[in-house]
Amino acid sequence: MIDYIAFNGQKYKTRDVRLEEYKVTVKIAEEALDGILFDEEKGYPSREAELLDELIYCFVPDELMDAPDEAVAEYIYDKVF
């Protein structure tokens, strides 16, 4: 189920995905949010951004936000593990 995180007046898609291989459920968010929450040179723009970033396990391409859990899990396994 798609949910949303609001930050700086914008809404960004999030959802929970079950990683069966590890028996855990993680929160993912669309990649567009990643660069807004954290800047490689400046760090976090606010404490709120840092707290939101800590909630999110992985940022995924926007087209994966509506994909089945299995497809998202495969992406996460390839990217993170």
Q: Tens digits of per-residue pLDDT, 16-54?
A: 999 999 999 999 999 999 989 999 999 999 999 999 999
pLDDT band of 72, cuts 50, 70, 90: very high
| Per-residue pLDDT, 8 | 94
Whose CA is closest to 18, among 57, 75, 73?
A: 73
C-alpha dist (Å) from residue 36 to 27, 29, 46, 55, 61: 17, 12, 11, 15, 15
Residue 81 in this model has a pLDDT that exceeds 80: no
Spatial distance between the Cα atoms of 65 and 56, rounded to a whole number of angstroms: 13
Instruction: Name the pLDDT band for 65 (thresholds 50, 70, 90).
Output: very high
